[in-house]
């Protein structure tokens, strides 16, 4: 796998969709289908076995890898991961949707990946576990600024940068399982919530590198915006000014306010595909 070189200015940006509805477990955030190879009949059968194994093993642990078969081009490899803050049942539902849709989304492809809000699933006919992969990335960007005051925009960017620095340190740390979720007050009425998660097959250094690449894009793609999220094959990084990770704030009014903010953010988001 190849990772794009920094600086981020060397990346090619493609704005391909203007407005997105809210994504849930049945609607993919994005997909990636490799086009350089096609699967054989034997590989297709092996992929089915790999998917069955991932569906069985992942919900209880939140992460698993699997492989099956033999022979060049026929052996199948797979990886599945759920966001660590979601329930076992939500994880199971998300992965069930992923496994049902991915072979159709990438019909006949030997490198297939799909991202959902609660989970990530990939399979292929080449081994990839433990490798840093940021060759394809998608960013969801809220087009609204958190404020129109220039001085406050700069202060927001500094606060976000400080929060992301802590995220970058926490996620690769021993015992974190690649997850970090933090929040900080920007004003008495605005809180910044942030989450990052690496796939658990990554060593700490590769996890830190993936998050660093994602976060380095934020000042370029979403400066002082109300929200932004990065999806790579090796990590997921997101921030919002409403609570989006579990547990949700106590009280029905807080939960309702978070849901309303999420709906408004989804209606004001664009997606950007980043290529090396």
Determine which helix (DSSP H) or strand (DSSP E) holds 192, and give its type and residue range.
strand 190-198
- Supply the pLDDT for residue 259: 55
Report the chain's mean pLDDT, rounded to a whole number.
87
pLDDT value at 40 more than 60? yes
Chosen domain end from 99, 124, 149? 124
Please report the pLDDT score of residue 253 as a whole number: 45
- Which pLDDT band holds residue 262 (cuts at 50, 70, 90)? low
Whether residue 147 is predicted with pLDDT greater than 80 in this model: the reply is: yes
Q: State percent of the chain over pLDDT 90.
A: 77
Domain that holds residue 168: 8-23+134-275
How confident is the model over 197-221, as pLDDT tens digits? 999 999 999 999 999 999 999 999 9
Domain-embedded: residue 42: yes
Residues 91 and 152 occupy one common structural domain: no
What is the per-residue pLDDT for 248? 78
User: Final residue of a domain: which of 83, 102, 124?
Assistant: 124
Alpha helices in 109-251 (DSSP H): 150-170, 204-221
pTM beyond 0.75: the answer is: yes
* 74 and 112 both lie in a single domain: yes
pLDDT digits (tens, 9 = 90+) for 80-113: 999 999 999 999 999 999 999 999 999 999 999 9
Q: How far apart are the first and last CA of the chain?
A: 12
Q: Is residue 117 in some structural domain? A: yes
Q: Is residue 2 part of a domain?
A: no
221 and 141 Cβ atoms separated by less than 8 Å = yes
18 shares its domain with 34: no
> Of 86, 106, 124, which residue is a domain's last?
124
Provide mean pLDDT across the span 173-184: 96
pLDDT in tens, 236-253: 999 999 999 998 765 544
């Amino acid at each position: 796998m190849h990772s794009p070189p920094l600086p981020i200015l060397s990346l090619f940006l493609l704005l391909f969709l203007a407005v997105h509805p809210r994504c849930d477990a049945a609607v993919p955030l994005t997909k990636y289908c490799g086009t350089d190879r096609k699967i054989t009949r034997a590989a297709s059968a092996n992929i089915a076995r790999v998917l069955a194994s991932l569906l069985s093993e992942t919900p209880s642990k939140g992460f698993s890898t699997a492989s099956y078969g033999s022979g060049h081009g026929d052996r199948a490899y797979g990886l599945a991961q759920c966001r660590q803050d979601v329930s076992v049942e939500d994880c199971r539902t998300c992965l069930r949707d992923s496994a049902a849709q991915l072979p159709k989304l990438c019909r006949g492809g030997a490198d297939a990946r799909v991202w959902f809000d609660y989970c990530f699933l990939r399979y292929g006919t080449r081994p990839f576990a433990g490798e840093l992969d940021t060759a394809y990335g998608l960013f969801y960007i809220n087009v609204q600024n958190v404020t129109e005051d220039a001085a406050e925009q700069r202060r927001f960017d500094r606060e976000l940068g400080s929060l992301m620095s802590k995220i970058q340190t926490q996620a690769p740390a021993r015992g974190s399982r690649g997850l970090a979720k933090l929040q900080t007050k920007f004003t008495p009425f605005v809180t910044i919530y942030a989450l990052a998660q690496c796939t658990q097959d990554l060593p700490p250094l590769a996890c830190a590198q993936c998050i660093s690449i994602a976060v380095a894009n934020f000042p370029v793609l979403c400066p002082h915006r109300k929200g932004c999220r990065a999806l790579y094959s090796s990590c997921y990084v997101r921030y919002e000014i409403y609570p989006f990770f579990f547990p949700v704030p106590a009280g029905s009014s807080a939960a309702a306010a978070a849901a309303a903010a999420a709906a408004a953010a989804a209606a004001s988001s664009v997606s950007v595909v980043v290529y090396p």
